[in-house]
Amino acid sequence: MTTYRKIHGRSIQAVTTDPTGDITEGQIWYNTASDTFKTVLASEAWASSGPLITKQQGINSFGTQTAAVGAGGYNSPPAGRPAITQEYNGTGFSSGGNMPAGKSDGAGFGVLTAGAVCGGYLTTQVDTTFEYDGSSWTAGGALGTARYGLGGAGTQTAGLAFAGATYPPTTNKNESEEYNGTSWSEGNNLNTARRNIFGFGTQTAGVGAGGQTPSHSTATEEYDGTSWSEVNNFNTARSQGGSSGIQTSGLIFGGEGSPSFLSVTEKYDGTSWTEVADLATGRRRGIGGAGSDSTAAVAFGGQVSPGGPTNQTSVTEEFTNSINVITAAAWASGGNLGTSRYDGGGGGTQTTALAWGGNTPGGLTGNTEKYDGTSWTESGNLATARSGNLGFGTQTAAVATGGYSGSPPGLTNNEHFDGSSWTSATAYPKNVQGLAGFGTQTAGAVVGGSSAGTPYATECNEYDGSSWTSSGACPRGISRWVCGTQTAAIGRSGSSTVASQEYDGSSWTDSGAMLQARGGPGGGGSQTAAICAGGGPAPANSNTEEYNGTIWFTAAGNLGTNVDSDSSARALITDKAVLMAGGRPNGGAGTQTNATQEYTGETSSVNLKTLTQS
């Protein structure tokens, strides 16, 4: 008799807890604790990821799921086709080098470090080809036929462009051209002329699917390096969507059909098309798409309902075929503070946080609250009620330094928290408010701040728990937001600049540019893994960005309550868990909130199934 062991090369194991490591799809085990047989199955799904920096439709794209490029595109207002480049690292987008000229609705092919965009539309259809090396663009060879809405496939040195249209009047094209990294040469025509076509594959094994003929089409053609042949149609007629993959493992997603804004996704195995998981956000008009095959793709940008030139989107989604279920990074509401406040101090972690001081509806406060991951409880008050004292430390060993007590100059007051009460400690060397602190009670530092309107933004002083020592000046100044340790920190350089700077325990150096200038943001983390969210100018925003030690990039999930000047836990643990509490919802004086917001990074879990007899 055939046994499970003979078929699969292993026996059914008995375990007390379900495995999470080396598991393959279809593997079966017996869980003795639950008295059940279990297995693991692969699932196909889209999950949210970090949005585009700039909303775009008609975006030109190429690359893979973890290294993609979205270049140019169209947005309104202001109406235009910017030359910007947005690079995706598998989590979010950062800024790349600008294109020589902006355009939309072109064809992209290649990878992040060796890609190209050809054709497209500016004020009319263009024949230009721009090549990208991962940081800068150069002009390549011109297409033989200028056009927009064309499909692309291949690599930077072996590219393929096909179909498209010219205007006015709108005239569909069936030409195809091959690129050798320098120049284009004419290939054989497609069987059906069309525009806004889906394209993927390679120069010798390409796919052109759908598009407008002028009606929305399901027709699919394959290219073998010489000629095009008609193959099986896909299921839902459409155009202007996203695509990725190769001839034997490709995807098309979204687009315009019936209804206009589609979320339908179909995969191609080289012979037939199958509908799989839908996009969460239906969209059309030049969705950016990239991916190596039908198991791993990314979609970004496009136009969302109800349409119109201003309804471009920044939404990004990743498609996976995996035994793991992906839960996207997101902000969620936590327990409310007992006292609404802004511009206070904070420390600790997401599940052991501390908030103190700040401005309340009744004025300055010394009120202190502790958070256990669910709710806040009051603890001992500061000796001196104040705001503008973004301190540092943990829930049981925190430091509150300087601040504002109602009139300039700032304070020198320094207090220690031991988990229940505050006591006076060695005064700060200068009267200061609006400073930024980082580190622990016995190995911390304070940087920036101002006194009576005179900035001390370049000063940095280290603290050992009993005394202050002057350290390396911060050339650009640091304002309010900084995180990390005494020997490895990162901070933002004020509310009117995108500069950030890193500290190594003795000196500050310029670091990666942030995606936007913001005043009074919240977040926290380490020098190599930081989160920055919210902030002014008024009205406060909800955007979140992340730092990986080299660059800043967009992070998935916006704040539920837009705030600046928060009292925020400034620690980041391994799963990117950050807390923001309080702040000003509209970025203006005189308002405060008691909202607590918790950020959790992307997680994955095994897709377990219990086997039953029926």
User: How far from chain centre, in Å, is Cα 312?
Assistant: 17
Residue 92 included in any domain: yes
Residue 609 included in any domain: no
Q: Which two tokens stand for residue 35?
A: 């008295």
Per residue in 248-268, pLDDT (tens digit) is 999 999 999 998 999 999 999
**What pLDDT does residue 408 have?**
77
- Amino acid type, 287: I
CA distance 59 to 599: 30
CA distance 102 to 80: 9
**What pLDDT does residue 587 have?**
57
Is the Cβ–Cβ distance between 199 and 193 less than 8 Å?
A: no
Give 53's pLDDT tier (boundaries 50, 70, 90): very high
pTM: 0.91
Q: Is residue 478 over pLDDT 80? A: no
Query: Minimal CA–CA distance to 64: which of 46, 44, 86, 89?
Result: 89
The domain that contains 367 carries what CATH number?
A: 2.120.10.80
Mean pLDDT of all residues in 393-418: 92
**What pLDDT does residue 267 have?**
98
Looking at per-residue confidence, does 523 or 247 come out higher?
247
Domain shared by 113 and 169, yes or no: yes
Q: Is residue 47 over pLDDT 90? A: yes
Render the burial of 55-82: b for 16+ CB within 10 Å, e for the rest: bbbbbbbbbbbbbbbbbbbbbeeeeebb
**What pLDDT does residue 571 have?**
64
Residue 391 included in any domain: yes
Strand partners, 309: none
Domain shared by 123 and 268, yes or no: yes
383 Cβ neighbours under 8 A, 6+ residues apart = 366, 413, 415, 422, 423, 424
**What pLDDT does residue 531 have?**
92
Residue 165 included in any domain: yes
Is the Cβ–Cβ distance between 587 and 564 less than 8 Å?
A: yes
Domain shared by 242 and 299, yes or no: yes
Residue 97 included in any domain: yes
Domain shared by 233 and 117, yes or no: yes
Instruction: Write out the E strands in 140-234.
Output: 151-155, 158-162, 165-166, 171-172, 176-179, 184-186, 198-201, 206-209, 220-223, 228-231
Cis preceding-peptide flag for 455 (omega within 30 of 0): no
Domain shared by 20 and 103, yes or no: no
**What pLDDT does residue 497 have?**
83
Domain shared by 404 and 552, yes or no: yes
Residue 608 included in any domain: no
Domain shared by 341 and 301, yes or no: no
The chain-wide mean pLDDT, for the chain, equals 91
Helix H or strand E segment including 4:
helix 4-8
CA distance 577 to 92: 17
- Identify the DSSP state of 593: B
CA distance 179 to 155: 9
Give 7's pLDDT tier (boundaries 50, 70, 90): low
Domain shared by 359 and 248, yes or no: no
**What pLDDT does residue 188 have?**
98
**Strand 273-276's sheet: what is its strand order?**
242-246, 249-253, 265-268, 273-276
| Count of Cβ atoms closer than 10 Å to residue 553 Cβ | 23
Percentages (nearest 5) of helix, strand, coil residues in the chain: 0, 45, 55
Mean pLDDT of all residues in 519-545: 86
- Identify the DSSP state of 519: B
Per residue in 540-558, pLDDT (tens digit) is 788 899 999 999 999 998 8
Mean pLDDT of all residues in 441-454: 85
Domain end residue (candidates: 305, 322, 339): 322
Residue 22 included in any domain: yes
Is the Cβ–Cβ distance between 103 and 126 less than 8 Å?
A: yes
Per residue in 130-162, pLDDT (tens digit) is 999 999 999 999 999 999 999 999 999 999 999
**What pLDDT does residue 236 have?**
98
- Amino acid type, 235: N
Q: Is residue 233 over pLDDT 60? A: yes
Residue 490 to residues 267, 348, 432, 547: CA-CA distances in angstroms?
43, 17, 20, 9
Q: Is residue 563 over pLDDT 90? A: no
* Phi and psi torsions of 577, nearest 5°: -105, 115
Per residue in 290-342, pLDDT (tens digit) is 999 999 999 999 999 887 778 999 999 999 998 888 888 999 999 999 999 99
Is the Cβ–Cβ distance between 512 and 499 less than 8 Å?
A: no
Query: Minimal CA–CA distance to 564: which of 582, 546, 579, 577?
Result: 582
Give 453's pLDDT tier (boundaries 50, 70, 90): low
Give 496's pLDDT tier (boundaries 50, 70, 90): confident
Q: Is residue 491 over pLDDT 70? A: yes
**What pLDDT does residue 589 have?**
58
**What pLDDT does residue 223 have?**
98
Q: Is residue 4 over pLDDT 70? A: no
Helix H or strand E segment including 491:
strand 488-492
Domain shared by 336 and 229, yes or no: no
DSSP letter for each residue of 310-372 = T-BB--EEEEEEESEEEE--EEEE-PPPSS-BBS-EEEE-SSSEEEE--EETTEE---EEEE-
Write the burial class of residue 14 (CB in 10 Å: 0-12 exposed, 13-18 middle, 19+ buried).
Answer: exposed
Domain shared by 374 and 245, yes or no: no
CA distance 333 to 593: 13
Q: Is residue 598 over pLDDT 60? A: yes
Helix H or strand E segment including 5:
helix 4-8
CA distance 224 to 205: 5
User: What does R_g of the chain's alpha carbons equal in angstroms?
Assistant: 28
Query: Which residues constitute the domain of residue 468?
Result: 331-603
Which of the given ranges, 108-122, 466-480, 563-577, has the highest pLDDT on average?
108-122
Looking at per-residue confidence, does 388 or 489 come out higher?
489
Is the Cβ–Cβ distance between 266 and 274 less than 8 Å?
A: yes
Domain end residue (candidates: 304, 322, 340): 322
Q: How many domains does the structure of the chain reveal?
A: 3
**What pLDDT does residue 485 have?**
94
**What pLDDT does residue 1 have?**
52
Domain end residue (candidates: 322, 355, 382): 322
Domain shared by 294 and 373, yes or no: no
Domain shared by 591 and 475, yes or no: yes
Residue 614 included in any domain: no
